[in-house]
Structure 1
Amino acid sequence: MKSYEVNFDGLVGPTHNYGGLSYGNVASQSNSQQSSNPKEAALQGLAKMKALMEMGFQQGVLAPQERPDVAALRRLGFSGTDAQVIERAAKEAMPLLVASCSASSMWVANAATVSPSADTADGRVHFTAANLNCKYHRSIEHPTTSRVLGAMFADQQHFAHHAALPAVAQFGDEGAANHTRFCREYGEAGVEFFVFGRSAFDTRYPAPQKYPARQTLEASQAVARLHGLRDEGVVYAQQNPNVIDQGVFHNDVIAVGNGEVLFYHEDAFLETEHMLAELQGKLANVGGKFQSICVPRSAVSVDDAVRSYLFNSQLLSRPDGSMLLIVPQECQANERVWAYLQSLTSSGGLIREVKVFDLKQSMQNGGGPACLRLRVALNETELAAVNPGVIMTAPLYGSLTAWVEKHYRDRLSESDLADPQLLLECRTALDELTQILKLGAVYPFQIN
């Protein structure tokens, strides 16, 4: 039976704005308060989806959240009609309104952690929505995320869904941004690689001093238990706290893996040699041959990696066994990073080609190609059980681009977030989107 890695990309929402909400994310903070272009952002993301589909990769789409989140503002004490809630929040607590308008759900690498059926005890694909507890504007996402994923992967014979972990610091969970799976073939048993920034209870693990470590060891262990993973099929590794303090807020900003290959920066992890040996040994036990590509700091500094998002790229397997790297334009604009990539692809190694995409709107807010996609390994039977409305096709691409052109603004500033009309625009757009994607009622305004 054939198996596939399907990339489900986040569709950028109508309230895409530069709120500067993510402390520890250099791009998010440095572009704070600039005007954004939601229409351009959504079209850039859709163009990447279409391109990958046309290259022969399985591609899906994951719907955005309802924003502004009026219900979240009500829980914080704002009352009245929806318009009054927005107006009062804008007047009394603008930072809370900005947070409630965040379109950060576009970065669906943080939506959930996914374990394929070949790895799990019950032979189903398991999803655990991430609690994203470190940042308020992201912590309000998981209820809708769970409903959307449930509508996409509804067949309980093939798919299992778990609620987000407890919303406390000890179980901070950032989803697949800190999770990678290695395997010989997508449909075969593999090794799931969980990267954490700190331990909540074990003081032996060092912690960063400047920026928060968002993923805890305990959260990663809990997800592995929920998914029924075997101990011999799991490796835990600690992210280097010094690189977290340099703006590497997730592992996918400093490393990316696919198939049997890990592409990583020299400074990405602690106890790197031990980690590599464990990955090699455990993958060998299931018939795989682990391979790693280390980018030396002498070629690419951590600062270069953060500014270019070299590692926040998509590493894709091609039929001939070689790999393709999808990178943002910022990699091409960085002289040292581009020189390294040119030497990498000309060396005859595993990564043979680099393709560059314009994702400037997302990049300015701190998310590159890897942030925009949630990877789900599926066999043919499971793929057939996925809601077909969310699988990218040429007609769906046409429908979604027309939908964006119809509903999205081409400029959004902080002051625009106080306009109650924006909420009505968002709800009208999302109501239509659920019909296009055949999701049913997944948003609070559709349910309540």
Structure 2
Amino acid sequence: MAGERIAIVGGGLAGGLLATLLGRRGLEVTVYERRPDPRVAGAERGRSINLAVSARGLAALEAVGLRDLALERALPMHGRMVHPLGAADNFQPYSADGERAINSISRAELNQALLDAAEATPGVTLRFSRRVTGVDADAGLLLLEDADGGRATEHADVVLAGDGAYSAVRESVRPLEDRQDFLEHGYKELTIPPRDGAFALDPDALHIWPRGTSMMIALPNLDRSFTCTLFWEKSEFAALDTPARVTAHFERHYPDAAGLMPALTGDFARNPVGSLVTVRCWPWVRYGKGTIVALLGDAAHAIVPFFGQGANCAFEDCLEIDRCLDETGGDWARTLSLYQERRKANTDAIAEMALDNFVEMRDRVGSPVYRFTHAVQHALERRSAGRYVSRYELVSFSTMPYARIPARIRRQNAVVAAGLAGGAVLAGLAARAVTRRSRGGAR
């Protein structure tokens, strides 16, 4: 372990966290980031999708001493505020006791805090405007390109690639399975500014405008604005090609929000449409003659953002690598083998749950049947002393491995169904007994 040169590709959320964890072990770590330093240049406009940091992310931030700082800069959201078209708004708490919350945090601010922590850790070097175009795993070389297009190579014994869903490192090592599934939907960000110096909407909620095949969400910011994200089919974006059409569309489909967006048409024209992709690849680790390459975060398992678990899940990757280093005594080959074996099933599970939650958010949450079911689930949770826990709470307010959650939900539902069936049988027997007694008395 001593003297090994560790390269982390990508200075985003996972890269900053992992660099700090490894630097604290006394390792020499270099982080390569294609962008200029975002603490100087600022965040990329229109592509943030505010983070909803929950229990898993907070556990990771606790490990590097950033939990309290993150929460100081966060706004808790205790539930969803649903804005149906043509009906009254309704609030749906996330937890049965109404006390638990997910946390709206600026992606840019959290990224900056993680980079600060990494830079302050002895042994960690941050190199910005250095794009890694690939890895020669047999030669043990990173292939680099600077901001001016100049090319170079550098040696690394271990390469940990957190360079996103369209990872150049993943492309260069070509896993046996490498599938990218794109939704027909894209996303675009808009803003609801403060109104008379105050929040224009309730800041204690994640706001959702479900519209069947599409939706808009809004998360609160510390400056009392809201970051809104449209999740629409790409053809819907393309059809709104004039300011008049944009205005008319919002007044028709989002009438309560349209008047809160004075910069609507300008933001709509200026901000890009992003793509939504699920990445499934395997293996995540390539053992070359000169270096070991491992994928993490979106490079290994990008998911759609509808459960708010992308960053939380990537942070768990970092914690798992750190944990495996403890278990193997710093043996990188064994560490990364354990890491991918333990994480793969979990990331597959949350990918499927995130896709299902998109349907829930854009369609089901506005249904009276959904609201009734939601209320029943919370009633069961309050009465069962932890024996019944909703899927949302298991994902967002626990650190139970994702892969165990679907089976837990199936077992719970089977017990509830059996209880209901048993209750129905007992009710039927009681009714028959009453009927027999009544008939006997008549005779």
- Check whether TM > 0.5: no
> Per chain length, whose mean CA-contact separation is higher, i.e. which structure has more relative contact order (CA < 8 Å, sep 6+)?
1
- TM-score, with structure 2 as normaliser: 0.27
TM-score (norm 1): 0.27
Which structure's residues are more often strand, by fraction?
2
Structure with max Cα Rg: 2
